[in-house]
Amino acid sequence: MFPFYMLIAKISFLIFIYLFLFITVIIIYLDLRKRSILSAGNGAIGEIKLKIIDGPSNIRGKIFSFQEKVEIGRSVKSNIIIDDPTISNHHASLTFQKNHLYLEDLGSTNGTYYQGKKITGPTIINIGDKFQVGGTKIVYKE
């Protein structure tokens, strides 16, 4: 009778192992599928590359790369710190959501400009588009 219980235990263990592997593969597959849907040709998921094209000399020409969210301002808590008196501590943010990059002014004193117009709410920007915070001009790169 003992060998029968051992056989049941061995089979149960094998079933448990295969079930664990199956669930692991399903979770990995769903995660990869989700990532491929989100990236949709924009490089890494939510990757934001910005190039400073005009502004303070210490950052002019620099390219910054971030994932999903960026804050621009004078504050040391900002991702891109620009030492310019025309820029607020928390001037603007860029957020990657639903396969789009949104530019938003954070209540800055001098405003955020996209295509020469002051933005008043979250605004979708595309690769190659330029925007301005204070006296600094930035381009969204691929």
* Range from 17-26, 32-41, 102-111 carrying the lowest mean pLDDT: 32-41
Confidence of residue 48 (pLDDT cuts 50, 70, 90): confident
Q: Write the pLDDT tens digit of every residue in 91-121.
A: 999 988 877 889 999 999 999 999 889 999 9
For residue 129, the model assigns a pLDDT of 93
62 has pLDDT over 80: yes
* Percent of the chain at pLDDT exceeding 70: 89
Report the distance separating Cα 98 and Cα 95, nearest Å.
10
Rounded to two decimals, what is the model's pTM? 0.65
| Residue 70 vs residues 102, 109, 127, 142: alpha-carbon distances, Å | 10, 19, 16, 16
The end-to-end CA distance of the chain, in Å, is 69
DSSP H or E run through 124? strand 123-125
What does the mean pLDDT of the chain come to? 86
Report the distance separating Cα 135 and Cα 93, nearest Å.
16
